């Protein structure tokens, strides 16, 4: 029996928005089940006696008078071993399980399995548990009570829930399912499975200043606009500028422990491609299969619009859960604009007063809530574990116009801005990161100088200076022609081109080039810088610019990208010798 005030009926259906009456006990963000199918929805507004619900499933066929039941619970996610390697929809239903059940390809067909209550995590699977506590032990929220080897590389740490604690009163078996007794604390049972409401941040002991870079293997990113573990980045770019390729490269290559990828409102075939490529790939660092460190949340363009919002919150909550276990998590969202569009659609159905470009007035606060869940933290518990969530959100401004609201608010919130440029993309300069607009606010030079090479940041300063100088020269050339440039300026111009083409450009589809480790980035830049110095000297001493640019060593610089990572240093030293020989006048 449902209690009075928890069952109501539909009075209006407007796309993903449903209005119900009779739900006097409803609270904001409670989950409701709508209609005979029990479609999943969330209360988003209470107006007089009416309850406004955003439905995360297709509402077609839903009629006025249909029943609505309030579950009394907020939208939450299941947390526990088995998340890694899974593919979920926006409300955490396992997509492949759904697809198998209905014989449908979830990315090809409209979402047909409406109202199906498939649990996120497998109830049958037994896990081997290593208990970390004994009866009589005192524990506080965040302490590790048990571990499970969830994948080859990831030990799943089961934590006392935030705010709980006490004395361990019993310890369960060591081969259990996620619902069987794990431990009891003051006689209250805990299982491997826990839940967390998605709109609530998981609490931490302390937040730290993020200073350790999140290595991406992309030269232009790591060297010029680095990201940090616990930081946030935004990638705005018009259609076809490479947002998805960059997000997917990060999914494969970043040195985070865990990757949560949210395909939000984009084409299903892109997610399908990612899925196909993953099983064959291994983590470039641990060697473990890449799927085993990844959670995929797919709410593709053919799936219900309102669930895009749920996909974002589901993704960030899962990320925080692994952060609290002491891992560095990278959350990649492609694209946050589609979420913004969903907010806009729901808002217009609610007949709210529109803000900028039709987006609701709360767009900036929603985006802020999302980006602010990034961070480097000390987790709750005695152990003082450190973990982080890094967020990289793609933005798809219509017509590539960065003045639109989602781009503008995102760039105010994120610490790194990788602006993709349509002109660069047209010229096939990939990644099409515009170095004149992009920036990173993170202070990472000390880390690079200490951990890669003492002159790392010195070299970066040189590269940035060279690009800036070349830009100025470009303006002069456009005005007055190349003839006015002094020989040494022509060298600058030529070397800046080298820097752009042989260093900043990087193919995501070339096996040798797709991932560039830091030491390779360092040596490649060092060679170009050495070439610059030698060329300047040679030209000042009378050598012809054409000879310098046409030298064999200049050609070899164009092949550095293919150097095998184990031979980088030897190759670089050989090339530096060759530059020395070729460019020093006899």
Q: Which residues bind ligand ADP (CB under 6 A)?
A: 237, 239-245, 430-431, 507-509
Measured from the CB atom, is 483 or 509 closer to ligand ADP?
509
Q: CB of 265: closest distance to Mg ion in angstroms?
A: 10
Q: Are 53 and 96 in contact (CB under 8 A)?
A: no
**Nearest distance from residue 439's CB to ligand ADP, in Å?**
20
Phi-psi region of 230 (alpha: psi -120 to 50; beta: other; left: phi over 0): left
Cα dihedral sign for 96, 99, 103, 104?
negative
Closer CB to ligand ADP, residue 206 or residue 426? 426
Q: Which residue has the tokens 């007949």?
A: 351
Nearer to ligand ADP, 311 or 551 (CB): 311
- Cα gap 339→374, rounded to integer Å: 18
Cα–Cα distance measured from residue 47 to residue 465, given in angstroms and rounded to the nearest whole number:
58
Q: How far is the CB of 244 from Mg ion (least distance, A)?
A: 3
Taking the complex as a whole, the smallest distance from the CB of residue 513 to ligand ADP amounts, in Å, to 9
Write the binding mask 100 to 139 for Mg ion: x where contact by CB under 5 A, - elsewhere. Answer: ----------------------------------------
Which one of ligand ADP, Mg ion, none interacts with residue 507, CB within 5 to 8 A by kind?
ligand ADP
For residue 237, give both structure tokens. 């770019």
For the bound state, the minimum distance from the C-beta of residue 265 to ligand ADP, rounded and expressed in Å, comes to 12
Half-sphere exposure of 561 (CA within 13 A, CB side): 23
Output the CA angle 58-359-409, nearest 5 degrees.
120
Task: Give the nearer residue to ligand ADP in terms of CB position, either 245 or 535.
Answer: 245
Token pair for residue 213?
A: 């870079």
What is the smallest separation between the CB atom of 229 and ligand ADP, expressed in angstroms?
23
Residues 16 and 345 sit within 8 Å (Cβ to Cβ):
yes
Residue 218 touches Mg ion, criterion: CB under 5 A: no
Which CB, 267 or 578, lies closer to ligand ADP?
267
Q: How far is the CB of 270 from ligand ADP (least distance, A)?
A: 7
Contact partner, 508, from ligand ADP, Mg ion, none, Cβ < 5-8 Å per class: ligand ADP
Nearest approach in angstroms of CB 266 to Mg ion is 5
Helix, strand and coil in the chain, % to nearest 5: 35, 25, 40
H or E stretch at 476:
helix 456-480
**Angstrom distance (rounded) from CA 288 to CA 266:** 28
22 binds, among Mg ion, ligand ADP, none (CB under 5 to 8 A by kind): none
The region of 45-53, 106-114, 238-246, 443-451 touching Mg ion under the rule CB under 5 A is 238-246
Distant-in-sequence, close-in-space partners of 249: CB < 8 Å, separation ≥ 6: 216, 217, 218, 508, 514
Return the number of the residue (243 or 308) whose C-beta is nearest Mg ion. Answer: 243
37-45, 85-93, 236-244, 503-511 -> range binding Mg ion (CB under 5 A): 236-244
> φ and ψ at 216, to 5 degrees?
-105, -20
Query: Which C-beta is closer to Mg ion: that of 244 or that of 254?
Result: 244
Cβ atoms within 10 A of the Cβ of 92, count? 26
Q: Where does this chain touch Mg ion (CB under 5 A) — which range of 237-245, 339-347, 527-535, 537-545? A: 237-245
Categorise residue 488: left if φ over 0, alpha if ψ from -120 to 50, beta otherwise: alpha
Judged by beta carbon distances under 5 to 8 A according to partner kind, the member of ligand ADP, Mg ion, none in contact with residue 336 is none
CA distance 340 to 171: 46
What SS3 state is found at 490? helix
Q: Output 154 or 221, the one with its CB closest to ligand ADP.
A: 221
Select 261 or 327, whichever has its Cβ closest to ligand ADP.
261
* Rounded least distance, CB 429 to ligand ADP, Å: 9
> Three-state DSSP class for 511?
coil
- Binder of Mg ion out of 244, 325, 438, 521 (CB under 5 A): 244
How many positions of this chain bind Mg ion (CB under 5 A)? 2
Based on CB atoms, which residue is closest to ligand ADP, 295 or 433?
A: 433
User: Can you tell me the distance from the alpha carbon of 139 to that of 159, in angstroms, rounded to the nearest whole number?
Assistant: 10
Q: How far is the CB of 252 from ligand ADP (least distance, A)?
A: 12
| E strand or H helix that includes residue 468 | helix 456-480
Which partner from the list ligand ADP, Mg ion, none does 37 bind, CB cut-off 5 to 8 Å by kind? none
Q: Dihedral through CA 419, CA 420, CA 423, CA 427, nearest 10? A: 130
Give contact residues for Mg ion (rule: CB under 5 A): 243-244
């Amino acid at each position: 029996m449902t209690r009075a005030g928890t069952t109501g009926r539909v009075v209006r259906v407007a796309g993903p928005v449903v209005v119900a009456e009779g739900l006097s006990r409803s609270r904001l963000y409670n989950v409701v089940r709508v209609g005979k199918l029990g479609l999943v929805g969330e209360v988003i507004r209470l107006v007089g006696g009416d309850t406004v619900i955003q439905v995360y499933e297709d509402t077609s066929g839903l009629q006025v008078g249909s029943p609505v039941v309030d579950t009394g619970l907020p939208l939450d996610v299941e947390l526990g071993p088995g998340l890694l390697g899974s593919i979920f929809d926006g409300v955490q239903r396992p997509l492949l399980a759904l697809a198998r059940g209905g014989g449908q390809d979830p990315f090809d067909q409209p979402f047909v399995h409406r109202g199906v209550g498939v649990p996120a995590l497998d109830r049958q699977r037994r896990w081997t548990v290593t208990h970390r506590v004994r009866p009589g032990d005192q524990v506080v929220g965040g302490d590790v009570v048990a571990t499970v080897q969830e994948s080859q590389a990831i030990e799943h740490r089961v934590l006392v829930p935030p705010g709980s604690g006490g004395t361990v009163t019993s310890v369960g078996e060591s081969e259990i399912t996620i619902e069987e007794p794990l431990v009891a604390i003051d006689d209250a049972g805990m299982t491997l499975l826990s839940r967390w409401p998605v709109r609530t941040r998981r609490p931490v002991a302390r937040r730290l200043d993020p200073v350790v870079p999140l290595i991406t293997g992309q030269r232009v990113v790591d060297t010029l606009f680095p990201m940090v573990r616990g930081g946030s980045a935004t990638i705005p770019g018009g259609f076809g500028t490479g947002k998805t390729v960059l997000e997917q490269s990060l999914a494969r290559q970043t040195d985070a422990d865990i990757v949560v990828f949210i395909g939000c409102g984009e084409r299903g075939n892109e997610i399908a491609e990612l899925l196909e490529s993953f099983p064959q790939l291994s983590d470039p660092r641990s060697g473990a299969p890449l799927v085993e460190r990844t959670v995929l949340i797919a709410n593709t363009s053919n799936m219900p619009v309102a669930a895009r919002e749920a996909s974002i919150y589901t993704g960030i909550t899962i990320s925080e859960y692994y952060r609290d276990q002491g891992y560095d998590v990278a959350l990649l969202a492609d694209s946050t604009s589609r979420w913004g569009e969903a907010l806009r659609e729901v808002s217009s159905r609610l007949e709210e007063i529109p803000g900028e470009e039709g987006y609701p007035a709360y767009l900036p606060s929603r985006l802020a809530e999302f980006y602010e869940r990034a961070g480097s933290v000390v987790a709750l518990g005695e152990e003082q574990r450190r973990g982080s969530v890094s967020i990289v959100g793609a933005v798809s401004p219509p017509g590539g116009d960065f003045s639109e609201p989602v781009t503008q608010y995102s760039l105010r919130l994120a610490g790194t801005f990788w602006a993709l440029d349509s002109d660069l993309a047209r010229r096939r300069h990939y990644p099409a990161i515009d170095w004149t607009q992009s920036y990173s606010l993170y202070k990472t030079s000390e880390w690079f100088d200490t951990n890669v090479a003492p002159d790392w940041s010195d070299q970066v300063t040189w590269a940035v200076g060279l690009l800036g100088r070349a830009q100025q020269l470009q303006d002069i050339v456009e005005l007055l022609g190349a003839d006015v440039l002094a020989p040494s300026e022509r060298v600058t111009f030529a070397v800046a081109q080298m820097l752009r083409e042989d260093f900043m450009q990087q193919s995501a589809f070339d096996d040798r080039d797709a991932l560039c480790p830091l030491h390779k980035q360092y040596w490649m830049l060092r060679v170009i810088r050495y070439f610059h110095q030698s060329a300047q000297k040679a030209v000042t001493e009378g050598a012809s610019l054409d000879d310098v640019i046409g030298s064999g060593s200049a050609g070899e610089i164009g092949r550095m990208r293919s150097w095998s990572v184990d031979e980088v240093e030897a190759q670089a030293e050989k090339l530096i010798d060759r530059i020395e020989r070729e460019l020093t006048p006899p």
